[in-house]
Structure 1
């Protein structure tokens, strides 16, 4: 087999951007992925003419014009704005918390009325030194918002009581005193027309890629093929769990094709009540304003992570951060491996942050300012 400058383990955004940029600089890259497709978690599957976000909703948003211009090289973006709804006890509420939500909760009409209601509840239920997520939420938004729109959803999501979850999970909760349902504040937002595969295909054009390859099954072979490895998988697995296993939360998805043109009228509807086992339903056609005669929905279930399941969310509590720090020290002793992405860095990244991280890694690798 040929010798490569880089064997890139994982074809998600970090691996694909790194491969693209290294190739532009004349380097020979091979991208391998253990899944049967490229693109990592942004992969879309075309079902009934609808781009289905295979691993949950992905909405691109950034304030960085450079990053926006970067992704727009590969796909044209539409004007989609994320405006989720939450169904709680039979009533629909707008998210994020804004004047529409407060009107739905209390009938308040002016920002002053809503602010007074929240302040009154914070004074009654809040604390100056929150010790858990419940106390933190009550101290940020008061009892009504917490009990109606946060408590049961969060407990489903994490699989434990809000009184046992650390306060830092919700350092802040966005509260807006305007009638604005746009979830993100970023200047640049949208979904690529034709789905995220367009971006991955553009990034990896002309680069050798292999799917259904588990790096760890023939690790020595892949390491022997390249001057350097770019690793985007689980950092604890790379080091053979020397300091123990890091914890994650997983997700499970159930897709349904429905013979109707419009099932819920919105791309994302959260299901707050604990009696409903899933946390949200995604109706994919609304990401691209589709007019297909049928629709595809995905029910998203929070899941305990065990080895073999997809690791979605790192659990960045004190215990896991202490373990990760030990792996971080080991990373420094691997001059021929570049670690990048959500799993290798054990942190939650939005898409624009992963792309920025990959571009930073490229600059460092090629000694560019």
Structure 2
């Protein structure tokens, strides 16, 4: 009989997936060790307190879901506030409400009724004479017309992807939500908010007394780490796990510039998008507005899309045909692993919202422990 290992679960990565898995496993009496190559826990939801403001270090994170079970789950660790995401778009100094709604259409054309707005959009779609969209530009115009596309989609999207819209595939924009009501709430979800005191409170609540080692790169000594646990929960890049056997998966990355400003209120809104191509950043975030702050100073963050290289954080998977085929090969290989559990956006090569990551982690916990005849109650 083999000797029992020091830990039941080694969890590589302290983002939401890893923390939820650790929390649920520890509730079942399992001993977990989390390792993370960064100098903090929480992955991309980590907040850094500066000037008494919780700064979203890796871009805006706004929790939203229709799933009451998930909403109750996160609120069991930290109370969420009533923040509602209502971003603005700045195009050449003009401001427009997002998502596309009656306020936007009034700002664009002066129309006041839904029928007037529908007629305007339809006339622009008809004039474009696009039957089968060949690229992102044609797809967008065929959905919302030329004015919305030119002012609010084109430049922003080209900055995000680092290439011209006519060189991007049509499938990137499958639909564009258009609302014929005066409603600036970006998300349709029933539940929405920000943790009071920042996302670190959620992460700390999930981790409890779990053992964590930071500034620790799994790949520097992976065999040693694997030998210390019965199972490994891997939330990193799946292609790296397999030594890029089938090739490297591609991503887009981001760079953030943070600035302290000696003003109480700089832009009057948490998120303002900059939609013209000539401005290199896609948006400016003013963090204090996420928690209705009244601090004497404010902090803004400019968000710059970048090409991804292995020394940068991978944010958005490029799910084109080539990358999807490569990922499927890794996914097939991963199914043969008996002692490794893969989860999270990097291991699944998929962009997730926060509630989706938590839901996926809870489902993985239930499936995994059911297979071990130790069915958990993850929402207890």
Is this a same-fold pair by TM over 0.5? yes
CA drift at 1:206: 1.0
Query: Where does residue 25 of structure 2 map in the other structure?
Result: 22
TM-score by length of 1: 0.99
Query: Where does residue 343 of structure 1 map in the other structure?
Result: 346
Matched, 1:247 2:250: yes
Following TM superposition, the consecutive aligned residue runs of length 4 or more in structure 1 with deviations greater than 3 angstroms are none
Given the alignment, which residue of 307, 314, 318 partners 1:311? 314
Distance 1:204 1:222 in 2: 20
Given the alignment, which residue of 136, 141, 144 partners 1:141? 144
Determine helix, strand or coil for the equivalent of 1:198. Answer: helix
Q: Which runs of 5+ in 1 are unaligned?
A: none
Number of residue-to-residue matches in the alignment:
369
Matched, 1:152 2:150: no
- Preserved contact between residue 251 and residue 310 of structure 1 (Cα < 8 Å): yes
Q: Which runs of 5+ in 2 are unaligned?
A: none
Distance 1:191 1:11 in 2: 20
Query: Where does residue 82 of structure 1 map in the other structure?
Result: 85
Distance 1:366 1:2 in 2: 18
Matched, 1:177 2:180: yes
CA drift at 1:126: 5.1
- Preserved contact between residue 4 and residue 226 of structure 1 (Cα < 8 Å): yes
Given the alignment, which residue of 215, 236, 239 partners 1:236? 239
CA drift at 1:166: 1.3
Distance 1:264 1:169 in 2: 30
Matched, 1:43 2:46: yes
Distance 1:126 1:284 in 2: 43
CA drift at 1:125: 1.4
Determine helix, strand or coil for the equivalent of 2:64. Answer: strand
Moved more, 137-146 or 117-126: 117-126
TM-score by length of 2: 0.96
Given the alignment, which residue of 321, 328, 333 partners 2:331? 328
CA drift at 1:2: 6.8
Superposed, 1:51-70 pairs within 5 Å as 51-70=54-73
Matched, 1:263 2:266: yes
Superposed, 1:79-118 pairs within 5 Å as 79-118=82-121
Distance 1:117 1:269 in 2: 26
Cα offsets for 1:177-196 (capped at 9, x unmatched)? 00000000000000000000
Given the alignment, which residue of 199, 202, 212 partners 2:202? 199
CA drift at 1:164: 1.0
Matched, 1:365 2:371: no
- RMSD value over aligned CA atoms? 1.1
